[in-house]
Structure 1
């Protein structure tokens, strides 16, 4: 039955929010190599990368690839186990290519997960991936604060830090924009905490923690009990499979040293 006149209730509610999307910044246009690298990532951490949404960023190339090459790359990525969903903003040629591929363009959607060699990148402005490249990860938009409204605190720089008083549960995402983040409880498996500054977790860290989201290489991650699925600082990342067994379940700190992600136990 047709809606009554004057009834403007939409059939579908559209909202724009923060989503977890990986950004693949193409540095060398070698389709076979790119697909192989992605296949390896999926094999190493299938819970994180299998069927992950990926934005393809051609901003690191001298020239935008032609339509046939781009299609071959997208097909290769799909066969590797991920789902290309958009191109990152770039030149007018990149815009035209996106239209030919039938894909949207995405600008900065979360954080920078993929540092390009020598030049910081943002998925047009987007991602700065990681100690291998993930741009994955991940990446934003505006902060989706968890359902439990967190309190604010002051961190040393005088900027307000974000304090989460309750656990961050599976499926929740917490983003501290332009500040540090402190979680007084645990970060559950499948949860994600992101900060443009450092991250402090006073309980167990089981989900994902992404510090220095806008490229701050001095940011650090601290936690009392390390079981993280993925950790990243300024785009450099490691997954749990990369972490020595002796560090699991221990208090650790994570930082960048000459663009290499370091993880060490502390008392």
Structure 2
């Protein structure tokens, strides 16, 4: 007796693009790390939640202190997504967890991190953006909330010291609470983001609560986990 089997479910797939930074360290590494620390101090939260490609093109097998480079970046909260132009056979990197660099990426040119004045903290202010944020745009506002009346396209990124409010669809990356503001939130009328992050804790599209995706939702930080809640 033969039975009839129900059709197999369709496997749904789609492509996603991400903005990534490339860091190219130079010798001597001690001086380069000092310069990196100064950059982090001047641009608070710039690296928060951002994937980074580590370019070893200026390194050699015998570069002093090379073994400590990757751990030093992790200590600074820098998430290394991939490593390029190095050699896994170098003894100095034998103990590294060597992530494969994503394929197909193209350089978008040098990026200048925004610098903050070392004087007292500015009064919180809100940045209002009336136009949609297009793919490839990168908005950084460390002084307060960001309010976007339109949508945030895939491939775009918005970073804020406070909360992020998107009145349209959020399809790109939203990074709130940079600089240690864990009470910040992300609000959107349509949660379809590539990545959301608050105070350095992030979730990719695959990690978001499916009950809140493609719907009005808010994202908040509870402890070390992001919570997703529907909006009325």
TM-score tier after normalising by the smaller chain length: 0.5 to 0.7
Cα gap change, 1:54/1:46 in structure 2, threshold over 3 Å: closer, same or farther?
Answer: farther
Aligned residue number for residue 130 of structure 2? 165
The answer to whether the 8 A contact 2:18-2:155 is kept is no
Deviation at 1:158, TM superposition (A): 6.6
Tell me the distance in 2 between the aligned counterparts of 1:161 and 1:254. 19
The answer to whether the 8 A contact 1:128-1:236 is kept is no
1:84-233 → structure 2 map (5 Å cutoff): 85-86=24-25, 94-95=29-30, 105-106=35-36, 107-108=39-40, 110-113=46-49, 127=77, 141-142=113-114, 159-233=124-198
When the two structures are superposed, what TM-score results if normalisation uses the length of structure 1? 0.49
Tell me the distance in 1 between the aligned counterparts of 2:227 and 2:157. 20
Q: Which one has the largest radius of gyration? A: 2
SS of 2:221's partner is strand
SS of 2:25's partner is strand
The answer to whether the 8 A contact 1:224-1:251 is kept is yes
Aligned residues: 154
Aligned residue number for residue 244 of structure 1? 209
Cα gap change, 1:200/1:226 in structure 2, threshold over 3 Å: closer, same or farther?
Answer: same
Q: Please, which runs of 5 or more residues in structure 1 have no aligned partner? A: 1-44, 56-84, 88-92, 115-121, 130-138, 144-156
Cα gap change, 1:259/1:218 in structure 2, threshold over 3 Å: closer, same or farther?
Answer: same
Cα gap change, 1:104/1:47 in structure 2, threshold over 3 Å: closer, same or farther?
Answer: farther
SS of 1:241's partner is helix
Q: Please, which runs of 5 or more residues in structure 2 have no aligned partner? A: 1-14, 51-71, 80-110, 116-121
The C-alpha deviation readout for 1:75-117, integer Å capped at 9, x for no partner, is: xxxxxxxxxx338xxxxx8516x5xxxx995331514349xxx
Deviation at 1:252, TM superposition (A): 0.8
Deviation at 1:265, TM superposition (A): 1.0
SS of 1:178's partner is coil
Deviation at 1:245, TM superposition (A): 2.6
Cα gap change, 1:158/1:212 in structure 2, threshold over 3 Å: closer, same or farther?
Answer: same
Tell me the distance in 2 between the aligned counterparts of 1:249 and 1:218. 24
Deviation at 1:179, TM superposition (A): 0.9
Cα gap change, 1:46/1:251 in structure 2, threshold over 3 Å: closer, same or farther?
Answer: closer
Query: RMSD between aligned alpha carbons?
Result: 3.6
Cα gap change, 1:113/1:255 in structure 2, threshold over 3 Å: closer, same or farther?
Answer: same
SS of 2:215's partner is coil
The C-alpha deviation readout for 1:153-203, integer Å capped at 9, x for no partner, is: xxxx97321000100000111111211100010000111011011100011
Cα gap change, 1:166/1:47 in structure 2, threshold over 3 Å: closer, same or farther?
Answer: closer
Cα gap change, 1:113/1:265 in structure 2, threshold over 3 Å: closer, same or farther?
Answer: same
When the two structures are superposed, what TM-score results if normalisation uses the length of structure 2? 0.56
Identify, as 1 or 2, the structure richer in helix: 1
